[in-house]
Each structure stands twice: as C-alpha cells, then as structure tokens.
Structure 1
Amino acid sequence: MKFIRTKIPDVVLCKPTILNDERGYFFESFKKETFEKFIGSKVNFCQDNEAKSTKGVLRGLHYQLPPFAQAKLVRVIKGKVLDIAVDIRKGSPTFGKYEAVELSEENKLQLYIPKGFAHGYVVLSNEAIFSYKVDNYYHKESERGIMYNDNFLQIDWKLPEIDLIISEKDKMQLTFKNADLFEENFNQK
C-alpha cells in the first residue's frame, strides 16, 4: 500500500498494490500497523458501512461533533464517485478548503478523512457501491451537515445541479458560515 498526502496533508490517499493474474486480482485494502505508522496516530475502526446509489445521488456534506466525531476510510467497490473532504477545523491552515478525489472500482483508491472534516460524495457512474470504515459510532444528536452547494466552498461536483439527486435532509443543511464547526483547540490525534 502506498500512502500519498493530498494538498490537505491530513487527508491521505491510499493506493493499494494490486496483484493481477488470470484468476483476477488481490490486494490488501487495510493493514492497521502500516496505516497507523504513516498517519502517526492510532486508529480504531469499529464499524464498516456500505451504500448503493445511482448516478447523480449526492450524499453530504456530513460530520459528527466531538466527542462523537468520526474518521473515515472510504472506497468504491463498484462504479465511480467524486469524494469530497472539507476541512472544518477552525485555526487549521486549510480551514474551509476541500479535497476532491475520484474513487472507482478501476483505480481502487481509498481516501482517509480524519476527524474535523465534513464528507460527501456524488455518484458519477450509472451505479456505485460505496464502502467505508468509521472509528466512532453514529450519534444522532452530534450529527451535522453543510449545504452541498455552499457559496463559500464552491465545490465542483462534476455534474449539472439539475442532475443531482439529494435527500430532503441534505437540502436543508446549514451554510458553512452558519454551521457548528470544530473549535481551534480540537485535537484529532
């Protein structure tokens, strides 16, 4: 597995070593010891989730406030998505910036999104199966979100807005400037 820091250094792209032969392929999708050594902290993923969606489905931008904040390791098993991680840590040098990465069944890339980030994705293929690990359980009262089309963030979702399929809940999220964000003294380690 090769790890690559993105323009937001705490967001890490994970590129597996894929072994192909006449039978198909094999790769390690996660190895705790190697992963922790690279990111420089312990991680305790406690739950795996999976979502199936059709083209244009946009999920996000979601996060949970401390002490129920979640780090995520995301990947696509089938299809292709544009995955977005927004830095919502006040005082961070990349506060208000986002990282956008295409994840697909072909490239088999994964994205590590630490605590202190809002997360979302849009399906670019006809269908996608999206899988992710989290290091904290869902806590309804701590759940928050930011509008997918927030003017301050200016995220390019790669599809025309008319083609997006968005839940009523996600259509009602707050703007970045009005959202509950992570305080400057938040420490994700």
Structure 2
Amino acid sequence: MEKISSLSIFTSKYWTTSTSELKKLRTLTFAGMTIALSIVLNSFSIPVGENLNIRFTFLVFSLGALIFGPITGLLVGAACDLLGFVLHPSGVFFPGYTLSTMLEFFIYGLFLYRSRITIVKIFLTKFFVNYGIHVGLGALWSKILFNKGYLYFFANSIIKNTIMLPIEVIMLVLLLQLLFPALTHMGMVQKENCKHIPFI
C-alpha cells in the first residue's frame, strides 16, 4: 500500500507526483467514476430559495481532486463539462464553462491533494472556488452570453455564493470526515485526518 505524505505545492516533487497520477490505473478508474457521478448528480438539486439550489457536484469534484490532484483534475474537469453537455445539452456550448470546471478541479487539487486537511483549509478552498470561479468568471461568461452589464451578474452571483458558502463548507467537512477512514485504509489519503478533521 502506498504511503501518502504531505507535499508543498511550492516544490517540484508536488507537481511531478501530481503528474504521475495520470499513469496509475487506480487513479484513472477513480477519475472515470468521478466523471460519471458528477454528470448524474448534476441533474439533482435541492431548492432553498428563489434561484437558489443546493447542488452536490462540488462534493464529487473536491473528493476526486483530493485523490488525483490538480493536473489530472484539469483533464477530468474538461471531460465532465464536455460529456455533460453532450449527454444533457442545455442551450449553446460555451467553452468558458469548460474552463471554469477545469479550474474548479484545479483549485480543489491545490488545496486538498497530498495536504493536511483542516476546516480552515476547506473554507479557503470553497472561498476561492465560489468567489473566484462562480462569481468572478461566472459573471464574465454571463455578460458575454447574455449581453448585459458585468456588475448585474456579479451582484446576483455574489449574493447566492455568499449564502451557499457556509452550507457547502459544512457539507464538504461532513463528507470528508465520513470517508476519511475508508480512504486512509485504501492508501488514498494520509493517516493524520483519519479520526477527525482539525479546525486549523
């Protein structure tokens, strides 16, 4: 069983290790499962308000990126968006959304892959995903597609993502806490998070 250890994103070993995940059959199998599950879950949501829904795909994205890292995550993100559009087309295809999905996987990988997981780190991960990708890039893509002012979409998006941020953080903490013992036993994550996820 492979020993999983923490690596800093500022070292070359982190990036070579992340790249080498593409050569592992277990990683590729899990990546395929991530793609399939994300496409299925994308059809489900729980409405909590006007134009506000709890979705579950981010849980699959984050768990997958935690295991196979940011490099594989970029490719899996592209596959998720492209296959999702082919299987469930909605409107016109727009490559900006493909880029957003790729970057979402990449950010999850940067924060969670080969890393000591904490509640603060999970919060920061969702903070950058929600505000950087969903708000920042999402508003830009909407401006391009619907020809309205950027601030109009930015304001709507920032309210939704601010409301959803604590909910999504709690959901992700609970999921990882539930799955860490099994993932540790399979040698997919390091042992230090097996019993509980620390705050800092």
Q: TM-score, normalised by structure 2?
A: 0.29
Flag the structure with higher helix content. Answer: 2
| Higher RCO (CA-CA < 8 Å; seq separation 6+) | 1
TM-score scaled by structure 1?
0.30
